[in-house]
C-alpha cells in the first residue's frame, strides 16, 4: 500500500522526517478530519502502525471516559457563524490502544489555517504518561515501605509486630483515650508515647515525662500534683506539678507498676475527674491532660497479688499497646542499626566517615538475642563507632560480649518437666510468700505468676485470697 504524502502546509512547518526523531507522538489531520501524518512515537505509544492510522479518522483511538482523539475531529467540525476554540492544551485522557491496552496521554492540539484564513487541518502532539504513572506507583510503594520501616517519629521496624504497633499508634492518636504501653525494658516505650503525642491534636502542646520509679513516694505526689507554699519542710514557694505543666498536652507516666497504692488512689481520682489538688492545698484545679502510661511489669499479676488496685489498672489500661522484644523481630535489626548509626556517628566518629556495616557485622547483629532490646543495640552501635578503623563497621568492631550472646545456650536438663508444678510447690513451702518463692526459684515475681497461670492456678489464688 502506497502511503499518502504529508500535505504541503505540513512540510512547510517542519520536515516530516524530523518528527520521527522525537519521543512525543505527533499526528496531523486534513480538513476532512482524516489522519495524514503519524510519526514513529505515535506508533510506539498507541500500538497502531502508520499504514493503519493514515487515511482514517482518529476516532479508532477511543477515549475512556474522555474525548480522546475525537477532540481533534471536534476542532475541525466548527459550527458556522460561531466562534469556536482554535486549540486545546493540557488535555489528559485514558485511551484504549491496540490490543485493549490502556494508556494515559497528555496532549496539545490546534487548528492550522492557510493564508486566507481557510482551515487546512489540525495538528496534535501527545506524550505517554503510563510510564510516569508506573514510576509514581513505584515511588508510592517505596514510600509505603519506608513508612513501614520508620513508622512514626523515631520508631523503626518492618516486622509484623511493629506494624501492629504503628497501627495502634495511629488509632490512639485520633482521640484522648488513656493508653498503656507495655514491653520489656529498652523496647522504646517512651518513643511510642511521643509518637502518639506528635501524631495527635495535642502535638503543639507540651509532652511531659515522669519516671515513677526514680522518685520516692514522699516526693512523687508533689512532683505529680505540685504543692502549696509551706506544704512541707523546704516548700518555700508554691510549685506546679507535672499535671499542670502538661496542661493541653500529654503526660507520660513511665513505670506505673512501681506506684504505691496511695499514689494510685490519687492518680485514679485525677484521671476520672480531670482535676488535681496540690499538696497542702484543698482547692481543686482543672487540667486538660492526655495520659500515656508505660511499664515493663505484668500489671495483671500485680493486681492478682494485691500490689496494684484493680480499678486503677482498668483506668490506665483503656487502650493497650504491647511492644514486642527485639529478639522476636530480627528482621527489624538492619533498619534499626542503620538508623541508630546516624545518631551514633554524630557523637562518636570524630570527623571520620562511617558509611555503614559490612554484611558479616550486620549478620551478627541480626543473630544476637538482645536481652537489653533496642537500648542494648544502640549501645553496641555507639561502641562500634568509637573503635571502628575503616569506613564501615566490621565484625571485629562490635562489642566483645556480643560474641557471648551468640554462643549456644547451655542445656537446661536441670529444669523440671512441669515448671508450674515446681512453682506451686516452692510457693507452698514459702507459705504463699510470692517474693520469697521467686527468689528461691531464681526468677522474677512476674515470671512466677506466669508459670502459675500456665498451670491453671487461678483457682488456687482465689482460694488463698
User: Residue ranges per domain, the chain?
Assistant: 8-128, 143-322, 328-403, 419-464
Between CA 75 and CA 80, with CA 76 as vertex, the angle to 5 degrees is 100
Query: For 8-128, which CATH superfamily applies?
Result: PAS domain (3.30.450.20)
151 — pLDDT class (breaks 50, 70, 90) = low
Domain 143-322 has CATH 3.90.226.10: no
pLDDT at 20 over 50: yes
Measured between alpha carbons, how far is 465 from 462 in angstroms, rounded to an integer?
5
pLDDT digits (tens, 9 = 90+) for 352-367: 578 889 999 999 999 9
Query: Rounded to whole angstroms, how far apart are CA atoms 463 and 454?
Result: 17
Cell (9 digits) for 403 = 560474641
103-144 per-position pLDDT tens digit: 889 889 888 888 888 888 888 899 998 878 887 777 766 655
Burial class (CB in 10 A: 0-12, 13-18, 19+), 399: middle
The answer to whether 228 and 244 have CB atoms below 8 angstroms apart is no
Among residues 186, 226, 166, 24, the alpha carbon closest in space to that of 105 is found at: 24
Report residue 463 as a C-alpha cell.
482460694
42 pLDDT band, cuts 50/70/90, is: very high
- Please tell me the distance from the alpha carbon of residue 211 to that of residue 254, in angstroms, as a whole number: 5
Contact of 362 with 377, CB cutoff 8 Å: no
Check if the beta carbon of residue 446 is closer than 8 Å to that of residue 301.
Answer: yes
Binning pLDDT at 50, 70 and 90, where does residue 61 land? confident
pLDDT digits (tens, 9 = 90+) for 194-242: 999 999 999 999 999 999 888 887 788 888 988 887 666 667 678 888 9
Segment 387-393 shows an average pLDDT of 86
Instruction: Determine how many CB atoms are found less than 10 A away from the CB of residue 157.
Output: 26
Beta bridge partners of 107: 91, 126
CB 335 within 8 A of CB 183: no
Distance between first and last Cα of the chain: 100
d(CA 88, CA 109): 5
CA distance 434 to 454: 16
Percentages helix, strand, coil for the chain (3-state, rounded to 5) are 45, 20, 35
Contact predicate 311/268, CB 8 Å: yes
In this structure, what C-alpha cell is assigned to residue 456? 491453671
Phi, psi for 225 (deg, rounded to 5): -105, -10
Percentage above 90 pLDDT, the chain: 41
Calculate helix-pair angle for 217-225, 261-273, nearest 10 degrees.
Answer: 10
Tell me the C-alpha distance between 420 and 433, whole Å: 16
pLDDT of residue 73: 79
pTM over 0.75: no
The grid coordinates listed for 412 are 537446661
C-alpha span between 445 and 118 (Å, rounded)? 96
Cell numbers that stand for 360 in this block:
558479616
Identify which of 96, 109, 106 has the alpha carbon closest to the alpha carbon of residue 47: 96
Tell me which long-range contacts 456-461 makes (C-beta under 8 A, separation of at least 24): 456/420, 457/420, 457/424, 460/424, 461/304
Among 148-157, 185-194, 220-229, 319-328, the least confident range: 148-157
HSE value, Cβ hemisphere, 13 Å, CA-based, for 218: 3
Helix H or strand E segment including 314: helix 310-316
What's the full length of the chain, in residues? 465
Tell me the sheet residues that pair with 128: 105
By CB neighbour count within 10 A (0-12 exposed, 13-18 middle, 19+ buried), where does 460 fall?
middle
CA distance 224 to 240: 8
Would you state the cell numbers that stand for residue 173, as one nine-digit string?
492518636
What is the CATH number that goes with domain 328-403?
1.10.8.60
**CA triple 245-251-254, angle to 5 deg:** 125
Amino acid at each position: 500500500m502506497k502511503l499518502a504524502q504529508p500535505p504541503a502546509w505540513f512540510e512547510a512547518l517542519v520536515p516530516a522526517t524530523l518528527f520521527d526523531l522525537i519521543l512525543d507522538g505527533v499526528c496531523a489531520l486534513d480538513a476532512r478530519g482524516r489522519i495524514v501524518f503519524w510519526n514513529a512515537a505515535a506508533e510506539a505509544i498507541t500500538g497502531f502502525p502508520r499504514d493503519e492510522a493514515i487515511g482514517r479518522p482518529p476516532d479508532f483511538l477511543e477515549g475512556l471516559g474522555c474525548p480522546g482523539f475525537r477532540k481533534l475531529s471536534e476542532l475541525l467540525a466548527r459550527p458556522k457563524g460561531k466562534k469556536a476554540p482554535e486549540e486545546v492544551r493540557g488535555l489528559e485522557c485514558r485511551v484504549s490502544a491496540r490490543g485493549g491496552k490502556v494508556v494515559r496521554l497528555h496532549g496539545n492540539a490546534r487548528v492550522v489555517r492557510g493564508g486566507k484564513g481557510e482551515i487546512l487541518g489540525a495538528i496534535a502532539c501527545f506524550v505517554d504518561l503510563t510510564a510516569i504513572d508506573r514510576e509514581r506507583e513505584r515511588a508510592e510503594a517505596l514510600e509505603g515501605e519506608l513508612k513501614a520501616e520508620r513508622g512514626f517519629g523515631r520508631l523503626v521496624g518492618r516486622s509484623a509486630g511493629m506494624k501492629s504497633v504503628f497501627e495502634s499508634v495511629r488509632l490512639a492518636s485520633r482521640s484522648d483515650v488513656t493508653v498503656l504501653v507495655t514491653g520489656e525494658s529498652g523496647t522504646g516505650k517512651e518513643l511510642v508515647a511521643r509518637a502518639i503525642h506528635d501524631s495527635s491534636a495535642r502535638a503543639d502542646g507540651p509532652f511531659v515525662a515522669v519516671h515513677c520509679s526514680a522518685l520516692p513516694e514522699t516526693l512523687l505526689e508533689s512532683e505529680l500534683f505540685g504543692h502549696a507554699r509551706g506544704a512541707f519542710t523546704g516548700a518555700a514557694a508554691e510549685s506546679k506539678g507535672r499535671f499542670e505543666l502538661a496542661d493541653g498536652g500529654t503526660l507520660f507516666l513511665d513505670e506505673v507498676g512501681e506506684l504505691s497504692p496511695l499514689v494510685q488512689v490519687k492518680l485514679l481520682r485525677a484521671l476520672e475527674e480531670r482535676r488535681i489538688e496540690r499538696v497542702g492545698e484543698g482547692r481543686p484545679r482543672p487540667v486538660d491532660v492526655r495520659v500515656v502510661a508505660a511499664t515493663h511489669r505484668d500489671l495483671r499479676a500485680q493486681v492478682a497479688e494485691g500490689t496494684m488496685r484493680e480499678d486503677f489498672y482498668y483506668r490506665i489500661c483503656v487502650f493497650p499497646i504491647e511492644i514486642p522484644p527485639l529478639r522476636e523481630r530480627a528482621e527489624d535489626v538492619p533498619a534499626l542499626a542503620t538508623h541508630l548509626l546516624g545518631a551514633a556517628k554524630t557523637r562518636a566518629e570524630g570527623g571520620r566517615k562511617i558509611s555503614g556495616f559490612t554484611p558479616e557485622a550486620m549478620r551478627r547483629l541480626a543473630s544476637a538475642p538482645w536481652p537489653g532490646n533496642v537500648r542494648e543495640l544502640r549501645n553496641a552501635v555507639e561502641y562500634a563507632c568509637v573503635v571502628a578503623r575503616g569506613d564501615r563497621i566490621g565484625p571485629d568492631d562490635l562489642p566483645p560480649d556480643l560474641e557471648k550472646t551468640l554462643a549456644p545456650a547451655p542445656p537446661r536438663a536441670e529444669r523440671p518437666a512441669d515448671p508450674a508444678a515446681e512453682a506451686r510447690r516452692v510457693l507452698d513451702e514459702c507459705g504463699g510468700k510470692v517474693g520469697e518463692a521467686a527468689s528461691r526459684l531464681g526468677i522474677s515475681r512476674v515470671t512466677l505468676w506466669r508459670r502459675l497461670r500456665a498451670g491453671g492456678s487461678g483457682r488456687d489464688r482465689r482460694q488463698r485470697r
